[in-house]
Amino acid sequence: MNPGNFLMISDLGETLPKVLSDAATLKLDRMQRRDALLGQSIGIFFEHPSTRTRIASEVAVAELGAHPVTLRGEEVGIGKREDPADVARVLSRYVTLVAMRVRSHETLRSIAQYATVPVVNLLSDRSHPCQALADLQTIAEHRSLPGTRLAYVGDGNNVAHSLLLGAAMTGMHITIAVPDDFRPAPDILQSASRLAAEHDGEIALTNDPRAAADGADVVYTDVWTSMGLEEERQHRLSAFAGYEVTEEMFDLADSKAIFMHCLPAHRGEEVAAEMLDHPRSVVFDQAENRLHAFKALILALLEKQ
């Protein structure tokens, strides 16, 4: 297994502040490292449909001088047409890094176990660490991360997992407002609590979204029904009644608070339509920062090789 893998945001360890700093610098001039990866090829693999992730990753690779090689899940058939170990070994002979958006986190682990090049998680059912990097970069554009009060309202999904870990690593105070049946995974909560203790952060859970939003510096939400869970949609709509982020709820936050959503958004479900266009919405800054954060990440991982 390559030590430069990035499957969870916690894999960065003490490198996280530098990656965030580099992402901010790269945003100032998108072409400043245009030859950094000249002559290299980066594999980008998608089992899930993608808009922001695909465009951001392909553009990031190209703007660093490398060639993005994009593959769809049905073209490879990991675990069906070909064994993960064989796919990993073959890709390692062709490209200098593999970035993957997969249905199951176990697929990532299988590829990472046998690959000799860094493997990056573009999204799995367990975590979304590249999104969390962009989120932290976005928050840092408005305030210092340590001590920032982040209220995440909604499903304890992959985005919540990565936010918990990222917030804990940067000394933030994060509250997850979530129904009991949709809480984040216990092992993620345990890891986040340990990291928070190490970095003077705080972790809290509540069933009251308004209490979470009260006085928060950041109010964040995500879809209630993630890809692959569509058959649960009606049940989830009922379970999350009262968790929609509205202007009324946002007004409970600090007067300078920002609103965040990783997109795509289901307007009128987890978020009121007007919140995406709110003067203090940074949703589209988040989307842009996927590009800069990914650049900083792959540069950091490849510099370790």
Question: Which positions are annotated as active-site residues?
Answer: 101, 128, 131, 222, 262, 290
Phi, psi dihedral angles at 127 (to 5 degrees): -155, 160
1/240 Cα distance (integer angstroms): 40
292/238 Cα distance (integer angstroms): 37
187/185 Cα distance (integer angstroms): 6
Decide: 123 and 152 in contact? Cβ < 8 Å. no
Q: For 151-199, give the secondary structure using H, E and C.
A: EEECCCCHHHHHHHHHHHHCCCEEEEECCHHHCCCHHHHHHHHHHHHHC
Residue 256: CA atoms inside 13 Å, Cβ hemisphere, count? 5
| DSSP structure class, residue 200 | T
Residue type, 257: A
176/213 Cα distance (integer angstroms): 10
Q: Angle, nearest 10°, between helix axes 158-169 and 129-140?
A: 50
